[in-house]
């Protein structure tokens, strides 16, 4: 099976639709913003320290298990997109964690991070402080 995983930030879409995918997972309300963990603010979800913080967030392990089960359905999806506010922490970390799990099960996985390289989003109207 070949699967493409995409991480992205809703605040960088500028009114455009999320990436086309068989499943688009919006984690903005499902998982707490890791911005409270100040030691990871300048890092991104590619860093194991950020992945650890995201994975220990309430609901993250269950979501990851659910995404893994979805990816392995008999009518396997081809593309899963995971989005958070800025695409830097939660979405990127979950995408990397899901890719690692799928690879241990011998799946071919391509990962694309659309916004992980962009600066944190900090706006007056943004309540989540740009994760």
- Dist. CA 71–CA 56, nearest whole Å: 22
- Dist. CA 99–CA 28, nearest whole Å: 20
With the CA atoms of 119, 124, 125 and 128 taken in that order, what torsion angle do they form, in degrees rounded to the nearest 10?
A: 50
Domain count, the chain: 1
Number of H helices, E strands in the chain: 3, 4
Mean pLDDT of the chain: 90
Question: pTM for this one?
Answer: 0.90
Tell whether the model's pLDDT for residue 95 goes beyond 70. yes
Contact by Cβ (8 Å): 121, 9 = yes
Segment 14-39 mean pLDDT: 91
Beta bridge partners of residue 81, listed in sequence order:
6, 24
Segment 54-73 mean pLDDT: 96
Asked if the structure places residue 79 within a domain, the reply is yes
Grade residue 122 by pLDDT with cuts at 50, 70 and 90: low
Asked if the structure places residue 17 within a domain, the reply is yes
Asked if the structure places residue 120 within a domain, the reply is no
Asked if the structure places residue 98 within a domain, the reply is yes
Q: Whole domain around residue 56: which residue ranges?
A: 2-113
Segment 17-27 mean pLDDT: 97
Asked if the structure places residue 69 within a domain, the reply is yes
Asked if the structure places residue 130 within a domain, the reply is no
Asked if the structure places residue 78 within a domain, the reply is yes
Asked if the structure places residue 36 within a domain, the reply is yes
Provide the pLDDT for residue 131: 46
């Amino acid at each position: 099976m070949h699967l493409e995983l995409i991480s992205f930030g809703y605040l960088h879409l500028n009114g455009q639709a999320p990436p086309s995918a068989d499943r688009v997972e919006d984690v903005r309300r499902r998982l707490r913003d890791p911005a409270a963990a100040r030691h990871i603010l300048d890092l991104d979800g590619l860093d194991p320290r950020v992945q650890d913080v995201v994975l220990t967030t309430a609901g993250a392990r269950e979501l990851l298990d659910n995404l893994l089960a979805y990816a392995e359905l008999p009518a396997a999806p081809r593309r899963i997109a995971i989005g958070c506010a800025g695409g830097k922490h939660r979405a990127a970390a979950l995408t990397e964690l899901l890719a690692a799990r799928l690879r241990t099960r011998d799946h071919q996985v391509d990962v694309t991070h659309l916004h992980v390289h962009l600066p944190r989003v900090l706006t007056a109207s943004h309540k989540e402080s740009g994760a």
